[in-house]
């Protein structure tokens, strides 16, 4: 009887694991993350995943329930084709509508790609997709930016690339949400140069603010040179002159971000604009080098000023969860308990001379580009993006949250902590006999071996290697090559040693 019960329990565990995998969120960059206008939900759509050899595009829709702290994959018939680098805007009418324009598709080998010029709306109340066909809109493009302004969608910039050449745009289009018609705007004044990947937000005064972006120019055949822009403009609708718009260049004060591309943007309470991460690139004709960033900047449109804020740290011992990337690109997680004083000290020491010299404080998101960012109820949510491990590009699937009112610490969501089903299963198991003890194994939260004072890593690793091998095996899919597990274990050991030293 005991053995049969054990097999049944393992069967239930396998079913639960399969259910988790079915709704597990993909590793993504260049996706869109936005908040539901009426519910405590975040909605994630599209994006791409690069595994080091091939690129995969998605059109899945995931919903994160903030109160339940859980992800759910939502199946809705007839979605838009798979894409990334599109734009998505939510408007409140009709119980909430998600509008999506453009983006790009690429074949797994990256040899073929296509830029979309289609417009879609997801009716959140009825959970139905609709393609809106309207002539006179922008050409096929990706990397553009779009905001909701009154009863219109305002679209700026973007780029289009073919096998022969590439082109960047600085056109402005408006889509009327009442008449479902496109119109091309012709603002007066000097506006931004053509670019993609800029920041576009609506100010309290009703203007659209454009900051930064990226563009590339050909210097000779098959050789281009990129530019990371750091200028800022306002696009204003002129009072009393319907359909008339104007550009104005502005020069904010304060602690400005370093020029970068691939940064993420969200609008916080009181209309403050948040800018996170990105990559600061130094480009030569034959090479490209860059430093990924994880800094957070604020822009106040009322005072036209950039500023930063220091995280205060927590007053209680903190369980830190970090993603560790081994040499072969395997991403594993490590948990570590830090005293509040040590945490605050590491946060304060992050204010160094340059991003490459400043370490990542425990619990902070790793440096990344092309992540998604949104704000709900005064909390900033960050998902995914691209991280570099040596020469490898690693696509991430982590979700972080920062309370913008407290400004204490980043917290990370992990699938393993969403344990309502685990608790029910534990209560149902009962008995507490020898088999229950055997099955519980290491689930009870085995403590990591401590690092002795003055102990070198070369001495610590042999002493603790078996522990880290068990941790790596728990975090990597079954059947992974032994060499991969070993590298992941060594990366975990190194990360824990560095955090304890």
For 194-230, write each residue's pLDDT tens digit: 999 999 999 999 999 999 999 998 777 666 788 999 9
> What are 73-97's pLDDT values in tens digits?
999 999 999 999 999 999 999 999 9
Q: What is the mean pLDDT of the chain?
A: 81
In a domain, 411, yes or no: yes
Lowest mean pLDDT among 9-13, 59-63, 179-183, 433-437: 433-437
- Residues in contact with 405: Cβ distance below 8 Å, sequence separation at least 6, in sequence order: 378
In a domain, 475, yes or no: yes
Same domain, 389 and 478: no
pLDDT of res. 285: 54
Same domain, 413 and 453: no
Lowest mean pLDDT among 143-152, 280-289, 349-358, 440-449: 349-358
Domain that holds residue 466: 448-501
pLDDT of res. 420: 40
Is 362 or 403 the better-scoring residue by pLDDT?
403
Q: How confident is the model at residue 357 (pLDDT cuts 50, 70, 90)?
A: very low
In a domain, 252, yes or no: yes
- Rounded mean pLDDT of 26-42? 94
In a domain, 79, yes or no: yes
Closest CA to 274 of 416, 436, 400, 123: 400
Same domain, 270 and 376: yes
Highest-scoring range by mean pLDDT, 273-287, 398-412, 467-481: 398-412
Q: Give the C-alpha distances (Å, rounded to integers) separating 211 from 255, 263, 294, 376.
A: 15, 11, 18, 23
Same domain, 308 and 453: no
In a domain, 88, yes or no: yes
- Asked if 219 contacts 225 with a C-beta cutoff of 8 angstroms, the reply is yes
- Rounded mean pLDDT of 133-139? 96
Q: Specify the pTM.
A: 0.72
pLDDT of res. 18: 39
Name beta bridge partners: 217: 225
Closest CA to 215 of 190, 247, 192, 241: 192
In a domain, 426, yes or no: no
Q: How confident is the model at residue 437 (pLDDT cuts 50, 70, 90)?
A: very low
- Rounded mean pLDDT of 444-448? 55
Same domain, 376 and 501: no
Same domain, 411 and 466: no
Closest CA to 32 of 334, 278, 381, 364: 381
- Total number of domains in the chain: 2
Return the C-alpha torsion angle 386, 388, 394, 397, nearest 10.
-50
């Amino acid at each position: 009887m005991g053995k049969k019960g054990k097999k049944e329990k393992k069967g239930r565990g396998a079913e639960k694991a399969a259910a988790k995998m079915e709704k597990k969120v993909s590793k993504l960059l260049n996706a869109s993350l936005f908040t539901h206008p009426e519910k405590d939900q975040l909605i994630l759509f599209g994006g791409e995943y690069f595994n080091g050899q091939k690129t995969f595009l998605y059109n899945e829709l995931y919903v994160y329930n903030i109160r339940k702290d859980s992800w759910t994959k939502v199946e809705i018939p007839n979605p838009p084709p798979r894409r990334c680098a599109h734009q998505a805007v939510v408007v409140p009418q009709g119980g909430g509508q998600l509008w999506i324009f453009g983006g790009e598709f690429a074949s797994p080998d990256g040899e073929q790609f296509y830029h979309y010029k289609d417009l879609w709306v997801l009716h959140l109340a009825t959970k139905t997709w609709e393609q809106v066909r309207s002539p006179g809109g922008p050409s096929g493009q990706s990397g553009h930016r779009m905001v909701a302004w009154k009863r219109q969608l305002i679209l700026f910039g973007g780029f289009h690339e073919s096998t022969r050449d590439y082109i960047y745009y600085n056109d402005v289009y408006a889509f009327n949400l009442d008449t479902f018609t496109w119109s091309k705007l012709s603002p007066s004044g000097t506006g931004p140069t053509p670019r993609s990947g800029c920041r576009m937000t609506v100010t309290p005064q009703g203007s659209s603010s454009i900051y930064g972006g990226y563009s590339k120019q050909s210097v000779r055949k098959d050789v281009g040179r990129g530019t990371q822009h750091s200028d800022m403009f306002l696009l204003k609708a002129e009072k009393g002159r319907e359909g008339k718009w104007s550009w104005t260049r502005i020069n904010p004060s304060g602690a400005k971000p370093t020029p970068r591309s691939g940064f993420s943007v969200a609008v916080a309470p009181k209309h403050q604009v948040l800018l996170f991460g990105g990559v600061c690139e130094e480009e030569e004709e034959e090479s490209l080098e860059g430093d990924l960033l994880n800094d957070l900047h604020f822009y106040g449109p009322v005072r036209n000023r950039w500023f930063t804020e220091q995280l205060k740290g927590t007053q209680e011992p903190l369980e830190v969860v970090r993603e560790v990337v081994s040499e072969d690109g395997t991403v594993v997680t490590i948990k570590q308990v830090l005293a509040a004083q040590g945490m605050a000290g590491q946060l304060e020491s992050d204010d160094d001379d340059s991003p490459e010299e400043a370490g990542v404080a425990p619990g902070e998101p790793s440096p990344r580009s092309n992540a998604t960012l949104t704000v709900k109820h005064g909390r900033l949510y960050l998902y995914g993006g691209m991280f570099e491990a040596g020469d490898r590009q690693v696509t991430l699937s982590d979700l972080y949250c920062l309370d913008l009112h407290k400004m204490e610490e980043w917290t990370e969501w992990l699938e393993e902590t969403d344990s309502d089903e685990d608790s029910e299963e534990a209560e149902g198991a009962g008995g507490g006999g020898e088999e229950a003890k055997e099955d519980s194994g290491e689930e009870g939260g085995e403590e990591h071996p401590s690092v002795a004072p003055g102990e070198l890593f070369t001495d610590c690793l042999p002493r603790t290697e078996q522990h880290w091998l068990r941790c790596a095996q728990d975090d990597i899919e079954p059947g992974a090559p032994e060499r991969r597990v070993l590298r992941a274990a060594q990366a975990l050991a190194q990360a824990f040693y560095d955090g304890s030293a």
